[in-house]
Chains A and B, each alone.
Chain A
């Protein structure tokens, strides 16, 4: 892999950029791999990268039915934070946060991870209590966080309506200053390029249509282009995880819902951080191109159409205008939807399954993007060793039987 640098860019400019290398190969699948990853989104590509880099397992294929990073990776609103309530999730997301903090250099690809800070607004006394609880838990878990009062919020976020004239006046906010946003496509491409360089085969436009099993263990995947053997299979297919599980012969505690988002036309920078509100139900940040990136809640029904219902967009716009009345005359450019696999406790499933050697990493719901490096890292370790990584262990499917749920609804009530 030719490393990227400012000097390299200059050199290429002299030859009119005619000599750039491909970012990844288009390989012909081998007969059998040590590990096959199903799903070429951020999580799947990160898994492949860490398998190769940290565990020396390079005989790996990532099988993607469309194009790399084309599912929820391409559709999310790119928020990164780790201020989750419960110990298990805080540790997992903080593991991801630490990897984010060195990711661009690690994979030699600028993922534009921008620690602009993530605010969660409080509008009720119970919001304040919950926030205090979360911030305190975060602090003792080594995750940064502060609780701000209304005056501090008003000072830090210009144009946010902190007056008492709103329907649900802002009583305070939590802030994770290490939180922020990253360039979603770059995350997928950067991991893809780095994994490819270590020998991982990235196989696009190939759909897994079944799992071949022998004696209760998976031995490979059937695809629309033929069988590919595998000693271990990791499925990282987000919204399609339920469908994949069905192909493998079991069910998951998941439902796949549409999650919508929208962007404004590009405007000059006006919002410098990420601002989220559960009670008013919307969140907003501004991209480096100037688009306001705005998120909505999920539609309440199962949907695989990558689109949801219009009233969700309306309600989200109402929330944004309620929070930032000055934005009322700005215009919305485009809306879209993803398919999010939501778990009853708003936490992921990183787990073995009833089929031996078949592992699933799913259920990230509305918040998977922020976990991408951590998710890939612990899933790679689990696939490499055949045993779940300690940070992943609490997220086993078993919790839905024994009752040891990790209820993060408070931290994830609004999609993000």
Chain B
């Protein structure tokens, strides 16, 4: 069972208090109506699904109810950092640029 440091509560707490909400840093396109079906489908469904360093969104559902980001190794399950929404990760994989699929149009910058 993972042991997760909630950056809002400032404490390590057990995974049972949290809910994983998928890949982090996926911004909703600012103008959805200008997206093609392919772009919109990419935003909704296509994920990096990385083996290794992965940035993901978690929710402290049974705690402060705040969302935050986690950098975690999906092979070893080691958590390398947690950080608040709006912040950028300090730990990234060396070649962690997402593989190119359909280009996504202008993205929000606030995530």
Contact = CB atoms under 8 A, between A and B. Distances in A.
B98 interface: yes
B20 interface: yes
Nearest to A250: B101
A142 interface: no
Given A300-B20, A302-B56, A403-B37, A252 B100 contact: no
Nearest to B2: A309
B37 A301 contact: no
Contacts of B42: 251, 401
A12 interface: no
A402 B48 CA distance: 20
Contact of A400 (B19, B23, B46): B46
Interface in A230-257: 240, 242-243, 245-246, 249-256
B49 A250 contact: no
B49 A302 contact: yes
B74 A303 contact: yes
Contact of B45 (A243, A253, A303): A253
Interface string B6-45: 0000000001100110110000000000000110111011
10 contacts: A246-B50, A249-B100, A252-B49, A254-B47, A301-B74, A302-B54, A304-B74, A344-B45, A400-B46, A401-B42
Given A246-B50, A309-B1, 5 more contacts: A252-B49, A299-B20, A302-B50, A304-B51, A344-B45
10 tightest A-B CB contacts, nearest first: A242-B49, A253-B45, A401-B41, A301-B20, A300-B20, A400-B45, A400-B41, A251-B46, A309-B1, A401-B38
Interface of B: 1-2, 15-16, 19-20, 22-23, 37-38, 40-42, 44-51, 54, 56, 72, 74-77, 98-101
